[in-house]
């Protein structure tokens, strides 16, 4: 419902501006907050607020949408995308350019789930 009633607004992304309804997850983080999160966020990686990203995760230049869940030890490699509400298990490597489908609507739709210790090859697409 928030997407339908909220207005887009300018948001600073450091190297650029965005015009969106949902702010970026790490906007305004300082060194202490990054250290406490235990997550490595490489320049060019974007995660929207509302995504859960566990400790010991590496986000290469990638995109993680709202509602996504990324568990400990995962690597989201360059140009990989994790769709809204997709679930990534522990120690998963989502290779370069791979994508996981997302689902926000309809509410009864089921998310894409990658279980623990999986390797998803480059340029692969996994959808529901």
Q: Which residues are catalytic?
A: 77, 102, 125
Positive or negative, the CA dihedral 123, 23, 39, 101 is negative
Q: How many CA atoms lie within 13 A of 40 on its CB side?
A: 11
Q: Report CA torsion sign: 60, 39, 66, 82.
A: positive
């Amino acid at each position: 419902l928030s997407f339908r009633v909220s207005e887009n607004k300018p948001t600073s992304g450091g190297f650029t501006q965005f015009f969106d309804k949902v702010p970026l997850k790490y906007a305004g983080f300082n060194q202490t907050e990054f250290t406490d999160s235990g997550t490595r966020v490489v320049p060019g990686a974007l995660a929207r607020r509302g995504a859960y990203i566990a400790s010991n995760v590496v986000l290469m230049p990638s995109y993680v949408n709202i509602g996504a869940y990324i568990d400990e030890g995962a690597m989201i490699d360059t140009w990989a995308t994790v769709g809204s509400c997709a679930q990534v298990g522990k120690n998963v490597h989502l290779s370069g350019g791979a994508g996981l489908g997302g689902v926000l609507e309809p509410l009864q739709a089921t998310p894409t789930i990658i279980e623990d210790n999986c390797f998803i090859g480059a340029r692969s697409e996994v959808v529901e």
